[in-house]
Structure 1
């Protein structure tokens, strides 16, 4: 996999929306080609990334950018493109976007494109699907690496390029007390801690773990801070996929477990480096909602860290600057001393930043001084995901063996009909059914929704949201409590503005067959795009797009495609892919 540093996901909701619908015939070809490969890509990516939502985001990015390439250059197969021409198209896209929006780079556009195409090219290579000479794909991967938005740190690139340098840097990281604590914490959590996980609040679990690991806790860490430090370590280990810490269920080994535990191999440098970086990110998040003195102390400590990076470290015994109160001054020193005891700062007469730590702190002037998320004892639960009113859904460990509902989901008022047929286990709740509907109609869950029993106006079910007066909580209502036999029915509305109404009918009660559940087994026609004005608005837009002379054609085309067109673009409202839907359902469930 290509090197990946910290990133922000686009705030898109359902990842399928990045494809912007199926529009021109070139994009139809790209969409259908990628639909056929989605299952293989998901399985391939699962070996490297424990983040299925990001996997689909990246594939959607490939879909969008390859669609543009197909329109500009032409394309026969999604496994047979011209690497130099594709790179030129991608570069032109970025240049255009950055010219239109100077903040585009900061918003992660280049990062997403780089990651998407690095993954997709490696997938084609590893799966033997690439249809041109191998050298051309290797050239493309090397060219992407050269254009890596993360690749602005030459020192890290040089370390990664040399086994000897990686080995030396890895030895430096492995010697840090915080790394030693991580290597002690992993087997404990996967052993004795596995029995306790989920049986007590997270804060109590961390206190228990800190007591059990007291002999491995770095000297100098105050006893009251030990659970917090351990929480940071476990969160960082989870972020690099060395361990999985589910809200429900038991901790499991992650794919990168051995790289943390057996760190002698130079190939383990990258994971250990990003572990240190994740720890730093957590320790240096700006506190919010705290008293002013604590926030000032955090800012002062951040200033000293920046000074250490710039080569003018603050002396430990320097007299207090009168602009800071004694409380703020002392608290900042306590914070710096904790980082020193963990090996993230060098102990001595000044707060010097080790070279490997300096490289791990990315964009420190911005990250440390901009707003961040609160991190303190009171927010320990946030390290592992806040408690939610809606239960977290876990992957089944064993195949479902109960009864299955065959449901027909029909978009009301659509002519010709738009519908989906799905198989749904009876032990799911209405919140799960909402997610199934969203995936089935390629919507991104950006609006409110509601279920009705007994027709519209009957008993209402919905998520627990402030200011919304649902009669029942959907997360606490099993689908099988309302849909029990053939011909039972529910009604569902999504987006109270556009008013998408779905009729849910029980067609059959089946036995589980061992296949994927839930899954789509049939359907008809492309789902309307969100925010298109309801069924009537969507159908009107489709009609306008069939007539380039229509006065509203350019406006609708610009809305649909994101930019205006002088040439006709064909929409395929008959397009339907159950494979695409099932790929999303498999990730969700």
Structure 2
């Protein structure tokens, strides 16, 4: 299995960005829109003669589809239920208006309408809408009304007024959620007399006996005690009950909403319980032996595969890298999840969509990096200890060398790197050089473009992306031959990082390691920081304790494990260490 390894800090930054935990639905949206971005930007530029605002429109679509994916489920960014999407738009706007009732400008409404009008035109013009054309017309017509979220519009046929109720009904059908309801009622009712000094064995046994008819069938005694214990803890974590050592359980602030059969708050309370239970269930077992820990890692890996769309075949033969005992325990663990309704019945370990939406990529919460180091994680998941690297040169390079300046467009103050690059490398190699030079982790799509806007595009050979040429088949020397030759590079079509590559000199030869950084200025922006404008705003907020967003941005840094950053910092040594590792 190819190793899914976390990128290490290579240079420049005092730490690496760690993206916030997101649902698989949002991951699917990000991947889908990243794949469409280059074509959408070109289409938008031709249609409106203003390609710069294309990414703003796409960002609005991204946020809407992300919410839609979490609530409804999503197969593709160009396939959705128009009335349900309209309901999601409505919910988003109503939420924002409730958060900021003094803002009567309707700016968010206008941005969303315009963005979606353009996006609908795009998927129709490019033949990507394969569903009923009437749905597309209905959505476009509602977006064009003076007040599409009026009572009249919301009563239109097909309006998803029962959207939350549908999702809530799906949650309530899960055996573990139904057990949670029974436990919540029992804990603050008859169970109060069994509480004593806390949730000990006597209390758990009494709960299991009282709810015997509601317990999912198939759990043994030990499994039952564990599930009941974790379900009660999850009720407390979700605010449905309150637990104190010397006071009987009481109804929590979310108790009333938890038991309702409709409404957004009812859905949120039930969803919070499910999230809490999964978080507890997927935690690494404490004081576990090596075999148990191995089984835990394998079962979590199967869950991750299910999220990514490659669910494990239940009857698949054992992979030799896993011990027979761990293999059997992992199947037993997934069997427990099936009993609880958290894994679907069938030939593969697939997940109900609302369960998939709550699961993370088994990163920060389920795998505590403070307790498990990289080598332990690698051993746990059976990954190879090293990622394959390109072969080192058998002989030092003796040909001509390009001195390139890599300048981040629109960065003020300027952010740039100067690198020496052999002529025999291809554009895929140049992509890696840029990533190392700017300390980015290659987590987004990219493209090269020659001849400016409308020119030839070059990119990796990956599914759903349409580049004019495969970058691995084009030598750098085919495009950059003489001083002042230029090439454009775009990375992360959401944040929109753009780098101008310019030949400063063509050297006959160069001693020393190649490629090599010989100069530069300032720290490169952190990944996912909002593009050059967003990065500038964050830098300003970080440096000014009186800035209204200082606290929020410092919290953002803290979430990434960073106490502080120095935007003026630049380390040529660290860049060259990264290049040496890569080449």
TM-score by length of 1: 0.38
TM-score by length of 2: 0.38
